[in-house]
Homo-oligomer: A and B are copies of this chain.
Amino acid sequence: MTTKQQKRTDISTLGEFGLIERLTADLKTLRSTTMYGVGDDAAVLDPGGQMILISTDLLLEGIHFSLVYTPLKHLGYKSVVVNLSDIYAMNAEPTQVTVSIGVSSRFCLEDLEEFYNGIKLACQSYNVDLVGGDTSSSLTGLNISVTVIGTALKEDLVFRKGASEHDLICVSGDLGGAYMGLQLLERERKLFEEEMAAQKSLEGHEFIIARQLKPEARGDIIKLFKEHDIKPTAMIDLSDGLSSDLLHITRACGLGCHIYADKIPIADATRQMAEEFKIEPLIAALNGGEDYELLFTIAPDDYEKVQAIQDVRIIGHMTHTSNGNKLMAQDGTAVNLQAQGWKHME
């Protein structure tokens, strides 16, 4: 493989999205049932009847999670939830999951039972069925692959690309908590490894730790959309961070955006921990990933309807692309939103 004299391009020069685009650039659709392939939160298939959605994630120990501070049950739960979130982000309903694992010999049956207990708990909580998977050994660590299937009526589907100029940009919940939880857990891990000291400084920080270790997918928001007769014009779930994910939407729509610093929801616990780490809380909210909140746009006419949903904030609006992608500070200054690199690749 490496003996041939050939060009060798470092993957990190492309970033994750550049890499996917490059590898899938020349794909042609062969099947009439393939409605939408690579490029959104989930693929959409139309086999007749309801639309079928499919999304998949690969989670690798040491890259996506550390077992030093992640209980296996939480890991199982989170592995399912982050995939369900992709289906909700299409305004669809997850219905089934498959889970494959590769485990090294340091794991015992009881470890895997803990992991599966988390998976089953997530399946029960979100009313989805575990329908398959694959189990093998691995040379090192725990490898997890989760695929989720969902359904939706065609007219209910929301893609990343549907927003128009002047549409309002909304976000559910609060942002940056999962990132600050990760910072805290990583700090404690290092202290623990250096001093073999017990982890005590986690006490009192349950909120941000739960945001990191046991995130929830916002199926409740999707339900509220139906109840309030709201159909977002574009939507994505916040896995990479507000900046990166909002830029996915603006790019897909061929538009720009303005969001307002003082409108971005940040929990007090997140703010406090950010200050302790000397991180600007807004930066944690913009660039911290894994909140699994929904970021979506609505037509201006739906302003009243969305105001009625308690856990949703309007944080800005879509603009003509010539206005750029900007964060407006309270003092009236504006900065350009920037996508984060492929954090796992650096």
Contact = CB atoms under 8 A, between A and B. Distances in A.
Q: Which of A42, A131, A151 has the most CB of B within 10 A?
A: A131
Contacts of A112: 11, 19, 23
Given A23-B116, A49-B49, A60-B143, A151 B33 contact: yes
Given A11-B103, A95-B31, A129-B34, A143 B140 contact: no
Q: Which of A30, A62, A109, A113 has the most CB of B within 10 A?
A: A109
Contacts of A45: 52, 95-96, 131, 149
Given A2-B106, A8-B110, A60-B143, 6 more contacts: A9-B110, A27-B120, A31-B129, A33-B96, A56-B100, A140-B140
Contact of A9 (B11, B109, B133): B109
A55 interface: yes
25 contacts: A1-B111, A2-B106, A9-B110, A14-B109, A22-B113, A30-B129, A31-B95, A33-B151, A34-B131, A37-B130, A43-B96, A43-B98, A45-B52, A49-B50, A54-B147, A56-B145, A58-B100, A58-B102, A61-B139, A62-B139, A63-B102, A63-B137, A64-B136, A139-B141, A145-B147
Contacts of A58: 100-102, 134, 136, 143, 145
A67 B102 contact: no
Interface of A: 1-2, 6-12, 14, 16, 19-20, 22-24, 26-27, 29-31, 33-34, 36-38, 42-43, 45, 47-50, 52, 54-58, 60-64, 67, 71-72, 95-96, 98, 100-103, 105-113, 116, 120, 123-124, 127-141, 143, 145, 147, 149, 151, 342, 344-345
A60 B104 CA distance: 11
